[in-house]
């Protein structure tokens, strides 16, 4: 190896090191920008309100969980977390089940009605939640399902379907038609084809749908605010709203409530971060 080549290789190593170094610096800064508010929130949730008002950046002089017990009781969080789980799990299963089935039909069963039917679902992507609020409230009243979990699940699944259908249909379209056709020639029915061929191939899009629906439903506020009035049917975001007064004086409980609301999603991300990253990447490439 000549001296010049050694010098060039050395320069290359320094360059690689610098790129890595600055990449880590930038990533660390961004990570801190994300993590610091969460840590700040948790630290201040352990302070009595008067202590927080005097000193917003210090550690608590004598940490207390009184804010948590107070907020938990006032916010009825035991009920609301249960409801949030029911709505989130129910909606996610419902949207995935219906989207994959319908996506297969729209992608692989060609009929005259396929395109108009598909379009009628996809148009839902253009509708804003705000434009639906009053009609949905009226419909729920008309059907006597206002203030029921059924109404919440029905409307959550309905509002999740346009995106679910779109992703599934476009994903399943990428499965070669020849696979379906050869299976048909071999005598397999559509349901058999769906179970044996399509479903195993749609795991990436199912993961994407699950991530989208779990986070969206867990945090959803506007629709459930319109659909229920009874505390025993409300979800966690509605409970947390009770602690967000503009003229707030009890910041301790407010921070405790916000931490309670934030933790489940944080834990969800920490447990499933690999699947989330893989799923989003796979969905983005294959979809």
Partner 1 sequence: MNKKIIAILMVALVAFASGVFAQEKVTLNVLNYADATQAGYSDEVALWAKFQADNPDITIVKEELNNEPFHQKVATYVAAGQMPDVFYSWPGGRSTAVQKKHLAKDLSKLLPKDLLALWPAAALNPKAQDSGYLSELPRAITYTSVMYTNVKLLKDNGLAIPKTYAELKRMVPKLKAKGIIPVAMANKDTWVMQSCLFSTISGRIAGDAFIDQVLAGKAKFTDKPFVAALTFVDTLYKDGVISRDSIQTPYGDVPGIFASGKAAFLIDGDWRQAAFLTDKTSGTALISPAAQKSDFALVEFPAIPGEKNPGLISAVLGTGMSISAAIPAGSAKAKAAVKLLTWWYGKEWTTMGLETGAYIPARKDIKSDKVEPFTTMMSAYYASVPKTGYVLDGVLDAAVCTPLNDGLQQIGLGTKTPAAVASDMQAAFDTWKAAQK
Q: Specify the DSSP class assigned to residue 175.
A: S
Q: Which is nearer to partner 1, 108 or 253 (CB)?
A: 253
Measured CA distances, 282 to 4, 137, 182, 204, 209 (Å): 44, 38, 26, 6, 12
Least spacing, CB of residue 217 vs partner 1, in Å: 17
Encode burial over 111-134: b for 16+ CB neighbours within 10 A, e otherwise.
eeeeeeebeebbebeeeeeeebee
Least spacing, CB of residue 78 vs partner 1, in Å: 15
Binding site for partner 1 (CB under 8 A): 48-51, 53-56, 64, 66-67, 70-71, 74-75, 133-134, 137-138, 141, 221-222, 225-226, 229-231, 238, 241-254, 257
d(CA 41, CA 107): 47
d(CA 172, CA 277): 21
Nearest-Å Rg of the Cα atoms of the chain is: 25
Q: Which is nearer to partner 1, 42 or 179 (CB)?
A: 42
d(CA 43, CA 63): 9
Question: What are φ and ψ of residue 128, in 5° steps?
Answer: -90, 155
Least spacing, CB of residue 130 vs partner 1, in Å: 9
Least spacing, CB of residue 70 vs partner 1, in Å: 6
Least spacing, CB of residue 94 vs partner 1, in Å: 25
Least spacing, CB of residue 81 vs partner 1, in Å: 16
Alpha helices in 76-188 (DSSP H): 77-108, 114-122, 129-142, 149-173, 177-185
Q: Which is nearer to partner 1, 133 or 280 (CB)?
A: 133
């Amino acid at each position: 190896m000549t001296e010049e080549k050694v010098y060039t290789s050395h320069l290359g190593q320094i360059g690689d090191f610098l790129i890595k170094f600055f990449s880590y610096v930038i990533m660390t800064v961004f990570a801190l920008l994300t993590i610091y508010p969460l840590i700040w929130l948790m630290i201040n949730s352990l302070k009595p309100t008067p202590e927080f008002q005097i000193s917003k950046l210090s550690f608590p002089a004598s940490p207390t969980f009184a804010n948590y017990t107070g907020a938990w009781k006032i916010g009825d969080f035991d009920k609301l977390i249960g409801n949030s789980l029911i709505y989130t799990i129910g909606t996610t299963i419902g949207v995935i089940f219906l989207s994959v089935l319908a996506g297969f039909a729209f992608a692989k069963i060609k009929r005259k009605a396929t395109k108009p039917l598909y379009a009628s679902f996809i148009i839902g992507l253009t509708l804003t939640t705000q434009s639906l609020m009053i009609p949905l409230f009226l419909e729920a009243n008309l059907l006597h399902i206002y203030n029921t979990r059924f109404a919440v699940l029905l409307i959550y699944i309905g509002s999740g379907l346009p995106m679910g259908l779109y992703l599934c249909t476009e994903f399943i379209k990428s499965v070669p038609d020849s696979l379906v056709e050869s299976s048909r020639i071999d005598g397999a029915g559509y349901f058999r084809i769906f179970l044996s061929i399509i479903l195993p191939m749609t795991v990436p899009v199912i993961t994407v749908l699950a991530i989208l629906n779990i986070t969206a439903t867990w945090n959803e506020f506007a629709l459930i605010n319109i659909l229920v009035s009874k505390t025993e049917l409300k979800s966690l975001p509605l409970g947390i709203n009770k602690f967000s007064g503009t003229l707030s004086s009890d910041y301790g409980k407010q921070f405790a409530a916000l931490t309670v609301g934030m933790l489940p999603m944080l834990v969800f991300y920490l447990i499933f971060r690999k699947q989330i990253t893989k799923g989003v990447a796979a969905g983005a490439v294959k979809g």
